[in-house]
Structure 1
Amino acid sequence: MDPQAELRIVRGAYAKQIMAAANIVDPRVAAAFAAIPREDFVGPGPWMMLRWWSRDYVPTPDADPVYLYTNDLIALRPERRLNNGQPSLHAYLMHQAAPSAGEHVVHIGTGTGYYTAILAHLVGPSGRVTGIEYDGELAARARANLKACANVEIIAGDGTLVPFDSADVIYVNAGCTRPAVRWLDGLADGGRLILPLTSDEGFKGGAPEQVARSGAVFRVRREGAGYQAAWISPVAIIPCDGGRDEASEKVLAEAFASGGWQKVTRLYRDAELPDERCWLRGDGWCLAYD
Structure 2
Amino acid sequence: MDQHTNATEVRAFHARLMAVASGGDDHRLEHVFESVPREAFLGVGPWKIRVNERYVETPSADPVFIYQNVLVALDAAKGINNGEPFLHARWIGAVAPKSGETIVHIGAGAGYYTALLSMLALPNGRVHAFEIEPALARRASDNLAPFEGVSVVQGDATELPLPDCDLIYVNAGVVSPPSSWLKALRPGGRIVFPWRPTQQLGLALIMTRAGAGFTVRLLGPAWFIPCVGASDPASCVKAPTMPKARSISAAWLIEDRAPDDTAVAVCRNIWFSDKSG
- TM-score normalised by structure 1 residue count: 0.87
Which residue does 1:272 correspond to in 2? 258
Moved more, 109-118 or 56-65: 56-65
Check if 1:263 corresponds to 2:247.
Answer: yes
Which residue does 1:103 correspond to in 2? 101
Higher helix share: 1
Which residue does 2:235 correspond to in 1? 248
Check if 1:287 corresponds to 2:275.
Answer: no
SS state at 2:93 partner: helix
1:123-272 aligned within 5 A: 123-199=121-197, 201-202=199-200, 214-249=201-236, 251=238, 254-256=239-241, 259-270=243-254, 272=258
Q: After superposition, give the CA deviation of every residue in 1:176-231 in whole Å (9 maximum; x if it has no partner).
A: 100111111100111001021114523xxxxxxxxxxx511111111232211121
Question: Would the aligned equivalents of 2:236 and 2:268 in 1 still touch at CA under 8 Å?
Answer: no
Which residue does 2:17 correspond to in 1? 17
Q: After superposition, give the CA deviation of every residue in 1:233-289 in whole Å (9 maximum; x if it has no partner).
A: 2111111011121312464xx3136x31121111111353323x0110123420112
SS state at 2:9 partner: helix
SS state at 1:273 partner: coil
Check if 1:76 corresponds to 2:74.
Answer: yes
Cα shift at 1:148: 1.1
Aligned mates of 2:268, 2:180 — CA distance in 1 = 14
Question: Would the aligned equivalents of 1:19 and 1:88 in 2 still touch at CA under 8 Å?
Answer: no
Cα shift at 1:99: 0.6
SS state at 1:260 partner: helix
Cα shift at 1:28: 2.4
Cα shift at 1:156: 0.6
Matched length: 269
Q: After superposition, give the CA deviation of every residue in 1:46-77 in whole Å (9 maximum; x if it has no partner).
A: 001123xx542111111112222111111111
Q: After superposition, give the CA deviation of every residue in 1:134-158 in whole Å (9 maximum; x if it has no partner).
A: 1111111100111111310000111
Cα shift at 1:11: 1.4
Query: Among the aligned pairs, what percent are the same residue?
Result: 36
- TM-score normalised by structure 2 residue count: 0.90
Aligned mates of 1:225, 1:140 — CA distance in 2 = 38
Aligned mates of 1:79, 1:228 — CA distance in 2 = 38
Cα root mean square deviation, aligned: 1.9
Aligned mates of 2:148, 2:23 — CA distance in 1 = 32
Which amino acid is the alignment partner of residue 202 of structure 2?
G
Which amino acid is the alignment partner of residue 265 of structure 1?
S
Question: Would the aligned equivalents of 1:230 and 1:263 in 2 still touch at CA under 8 Å?
Answer: no
SS state at 2:187 partner: strand
Aligned mates of 2:235, 2:30 — CA distance in 1 = 36
User: Structure 1: any 5+ residue segments left out of the alignment?
Assistant: 203-213
Q: After superposition, give the CA deviation of every residue in 1:74-112 in whole Å (9 maximum; x if it has no partner).
A: 111112221100000001011111111110100000000
